[in-house]
Amino acid sequence: MGMIVWARAFAQGIWKRRIQAQTAVHVGLLRTTAILKSLPETAREQLRNWCGKSVDFPIEEQRILLAEYYERFEQLAELICDAAFAGEGAPFQEEYARLRGWLQRAYPQLKPYITAHMNLDASDAEFGARIVGKPIDAMEALFAAETVEDILRHDQGDLIGRLERARSALYRYADYLREVV
């Protein structure tokens, strides 16, 4: 009788270790996939973000990136306004996801410059705390939510002001870049 109990305990231990190993491998693959998806698209982008060390960001490159960023920002602003006017975000979700991905990749490079020209408001930080669990600025608040529905649902009447603060910061940053030789 003792041998049967011992064999059963041994088999259960092996099964438990197998399940733990499978879970660890699965979690590791999920983490690796998430890291690979979050990597920057270009080597220059990767250098800028590598270990938190800044790399010189030439004015001409800032101008080029800002022009493209501004174009995508205006598309996002129009999309959010259309969704708010329609009262639903579902028809706009695919386009929002595309714009959101691009803006999330480009914003970290421009963030120090844009926030330096932005009028900050507590409602943006509160919106970020509700959506992503941390305070964010007006620009990030426009693409922090996973869906357009989340933006509309969690807005407490500050959406137009948020759009204007973000747009104003882009204008001021562009003016600054025009003045720099």
pLDDT (0 to 100) of residue 52:
55
Question: Is residue 26 domain-shared with residue 110, that is, in the same domain?
Answer: no
Kindly report, residue by residue over 95-149, the tens digit of the pLDDT.
999 999 999 999 998 999 999 999 988 888 888 888 888 889 999 999 999 999 9
* Domains of the chain: total: 2
Question: Is residue 144 domain-shared with residue 175, that is, in the same domain?
Answer: yes
Kindly report, residue by residue over 49-100, the tens digit of the pLDDT.
555 555 567 888 899 999 999 999 999 999 999 999 998 888 999 999 999 9
User: Across the chain, how many H-helices and E-strands are there?
Assistant: 8, 0
Question: Which residues constitute the domain of residue 8?
Answer: 2-38
Kindly report, residue by residue over 6-19, the tens digit of the pLDDT.
777 777 778 777 77
Question: Is residue 19 domain-shared with residue 79, that is, in the same domain?
Answer: no
SS3 call for 1: coil
Instruction: Report residue 90 as tokens.
Output: 């579902």
